Chain A
Amino acid sequence: MSKVIKILGTGCPKCQSMTGVVQNVISENNIDATIEKVEDIMEIMKYNVMTTPALVIDDVITIKGRVPSKDEVLALLN
């Protein structure tokens, strides 16, 4: 089943590098997933996170406030 990945962040450099990491992991491992960037602050607050960027996989917050490594993202997606 296709996974829905959301990246919460107002567009700061860290959020962009998180998006980059996730995109790389997905294309390198042929993972079936869609990436959605959530940049609207009101939408972000619905997830009750205080530090961005945050990584949400199938509506579960998995990482917040830091940029993960590729391995970490891969582990979370499997």
Chain B
Amino acid sequence: MFDWLQHFADWLIYTVFKVGAESHLGTALNFFVYDTLKILILLFFVVFIMGIVNAYFPVERLKEYLNKKKLYGLEYFFSSVFGAITPFCSCSSVPLFIGFVQGGIPLGVTFSFLITSPLVNEVALAMFLGMFGVKATLIYAVSGIVLGTIGGWLLGKFNLEPLLSDWVKKILDNKMQHGQYEGVKQTFYQRLPEISRGAWDIVKGVLLYVVIGIAIGAAMHGYVPENFFNTYLGGDQWWTVPLAVLVAVPMYANAAGIVPIIQVFVAKGVPLGTAIAFMMATVGLSIPEATLLKKVMSLKLIAIFFGIVTLCIILSGYLFNLML
């Protein structure tokens, strides 16, 4: 599909700039040009498609749906799926959380949404598609959704309500059914310009991270020796998965910047499962997110939330390494 892009990159670097195909610099530059263009094209399309999906399934509709239907446990799964298709902005997580709780949705189900939302997002998917291909992307998306489902279900088993902030409890005490969702009456074609503008905005927003991430990745590709990580970082030893996850939890990185670097890790010998677990911990959990959640939960609840999700990510890391 992207052959023409590779030809373009070859032509630009080897013919126009006359950098040798055999040199480190040549390979690195070629890799940089090819990957940046490919990722940007994919990013636009994935975000665009997600935008269309999203216009039809706004989060208010999910709230109403979860509220009205008896789903016999499937609500965790639905909540998780919706988390995946909703565009995530970390600053929206608190209003979303309150909105759900206020609407009478159980805490566990709300957590399912909260876990998957940052984990599986359009930028992460596009980056994965560009760097690891369709199979790895599907594994990432499906496991993210499963992780949210199981994590939320586990958290729902605890008695967590007393651990919310006082003002949130007050909201819980008088749950209201106000604010019925009114769908915007617009035809598909009326929405299209807005959706593509939105997609463009997101691409512009992460452009810098993509370029920096790929630049670092390209540099590492050319200069880090083959099997470097195997030799120096233990490769597939059992403790690499928990270590990678624990290092990644406090870190906050944009999916756009982190995937190209992870791709180099994989190319140089880190198992894909370990890399995916690392990625999940980086985008799914972070100190800034904990700070935001502090407004609605006690530290203890945040610790339980982070603890369970971390555990799930570590377990899935092992699972990927077994499967892949």
Query: Does chain A have a CB within 8 A of B225?
Result: no
List the 8 shortest-distance A-B pairs measured between CB atoms, nearest first.
Answer: A12-B91, A50-B99, A48-B179, A10-B91, A50-B96, A51-B92, A45-B98, A50-B95
Interface residue A41 (Cβ < 8 Å from any Cβ of B): yes
A interface residues with partner B (beta carbon < 8 Å): 9-15, 41-42, 44-45, 48-52, 65-67, 69
Q: Considering the chains assembled together, what is the distance between the CA atoms of A41 and B198 in angstroms? A: 25
1/0 contact string of B197-216 vs chain A (CB within 8 Å): 11001000100000000000
What A residues does B179 contact at CB under 8 A?
48
Measured CA separation A45–B96 after assembly (Å): 10
B89 contact from A41, A42, A44, A52, Cβ within 8 A? A52
Give A19 Cβ to nearest chain B Cβ, in Å. 13
7 other A-B residue contacts (CB within 8 Å) besides A48-B99, A49-B95, A52-B92:
A10-B91, A11-B91, A13-B205, A14-B91, A45-B102, A50-B96, A66-B198
Please encode chain B, from 82 to 106, with 1 for each CB lying within 8 Å of some chain A CB and 0 for all others: 0000000111101110111010000
Q: How far is it, in angstroms, between the C-alpha of A67 and the C-alpha of B92 when the chains are bound?
A: 13
Residues from chain B with a CB closer than 8 A to the CB of A15 are 91
Whether a CB of chain A sits under 8 angstroms from the CB of B223 is: no
Q: With the chains together, A44 CA to B201 CA distance in Å?
A: 24
- Min CB distance A44 to B, Å, is 6
B167 within 8 A of A: yes
Shortest beta-carbon distance, A67 to chain B, in Å?
A: 7
Rounded to whole angstroms, the CA-CA distance of A15 and B171 in the bound complex is: 25
CA distance A51 to B113 in the complex (A): 14
Report chain A residues within 8 Å CB of B68.
none
* C-alpha gap A66/B205 in the complex (Å): 13
Whether the pair A14, B89 counts as a contact (CB closer than 8 A) is yes
